[in-house]
Homo-oligomer: A and B are copies of this chain.
């Protein structure tokens, strides 16, 4: 089966918003094994919409719409599709009561205009909206073509898709589909060089999505039932983990901070942070994960040299001898954070995020990262060479990610510095302390 995605909305044509709905729907359809031939964006213009629907319907078996379900006279998507599918709309009392109830919860009453939102297909059916006013609609033309209409609000659209449309399409495809996401430190090329064959094959499929300094590998399997699909996913995930080693840090988590917080909680450990160029980013990311308060009590943003001395006890002599951008200062910051917080583990970062501040031999992007472990007295030092990334924001984000990973490695007792996907980024400094 092939599909086309049609997003209706003047705000998209004006560039007021970015079309994340098209990406979401494309990815979902790909996972269902349905090829998307076209994505379209049109305004609330009936002749143009009519022409587009006729063309798309001639090419593809499934049309997926988002937007155009509002209560105003301009919103004619449902009427236009109903005509193209020869499936007249009827007023549905149950939907109307639901709309009235939704408004009541918001302390409002619907207007006469909202009545058109309670119109549903006769041959097809409504798609329930438990998250907003406009129900969606499912149309069939009796000749194998169908269309599904969803609201444009991403939160409503995604929920209705997951709860109703995806299960319906799975039944039509006569299979159950499951996806899992493996989180891996490092970029696409380093992962591809190790795991290229694992991205081949039709079932399960594996796709890679790059983020700053890390990647997500999404594995999707189709099978007769959920257990079989999950087993197919798990088998492929195990192969990825075997090849990628401890660069594969977790499965199905929002991010590395969640992994770190869980690792610390499970072991009863506490972490402290001491930050210069990252300016609070490590602490902020760590505390994105709910429950961080159990494992994180103290964060030091020591942007000034004096702050490094007074809060972390970094000796002035060290700052003078090595400069503030140096391994010894990073280690002293991490050890100072342990002493000032009573935590078992600490990470510290000092470096040059740019655009200014470069020193001879230390270009923008030079970042020193240290981990310290009060249980063993050991410290770990990395010099990150992030000059290639140029932008201040990216240098900071990569340094913070590495810092969280150093925490993870200390908490889990993994190699430090270990074999890792993005190893080219880092080199331990060799001086004696």
A residues with a Cβ closer than 8 A to B are: 12-20, 22-30, 35-43, 45, 48, 52, 55, 207, 209, 273, 275, 278-284, 286-288, 290-293, 296-304, 306-307, 310-311, 340-341, 354-356, 392-393
Contacts and interface: CB of A to CB of B under 8 A. Distances in A.
B41 A48 contact: no
B284 A280 contact: yes
Given A19-B22, A23-B17, A299 B287 contact: no
A39 to B, nearest CB: 4
Q: Is the interface of A mostly helix, strand, loop or mixed?
A: mixed
A357 to B, nearest CB: 8
Contact of A296 (B35, B290, B303, B340): B303
Given A293-B303, A298-B304, A26 B14 contact: yes
A288 B392 contact: yes
Nearest to A270: B304
Contact of A16 (B12, B16, B207): B207
Contact of A392 (B17, B45, B290, B341): B290
Contacts of A283: 279-280, 283-284, 301, 303
Contact of A14 (B27, B291, B298, B354): B27
A273 B301 contact: yes
A13 B26 contact: yes
22 contacts: A12-B22, A13-B35, A13-B39, A15-B36, A18-B23, A37-B42, A39-B39, A39-B40, A39-B41, A40-B40, A278-B284, A279-B296, A280-B280, A281-B284, A288-B393, A293-B304, A296-B303, A296-B304, A298-B301, A298-B302, A299-B299, A311-B311
A286 B37 CA distance: 45
Contacts of A27: 14-16
B43 A37 contact: yes
A12 B40 contact: no
B307 A341 contact: yes
A41 B22 contact: yes
Contacts of A35: 13
Contacts of A12: 22-23, 26, 39
Q: Give the oligomeric copy count.
A: 2
Contacts of A287: 279-280, 301, 303
Contacts of A22: 12, 15, 18-19, 41
A281 B280 contact: yes
Nearest to A392: B290
Contact of A301 (B18, B42, B301, B392): B301
A15 B293 CA distance: 36
Most buried by B among A17, A24, A278, A279: A279
A38 B48 contact: yes
A39 B13 CA distance: 7
A312 to B, nearest CB: 11
A298 B293 CA distance: 21
Which of A12, A15, A284 counts the most B-chain CB atoms under 10 A from its CB?
Answer: A15
Contacts of A273: 280, 301
Contacts of A282: 280
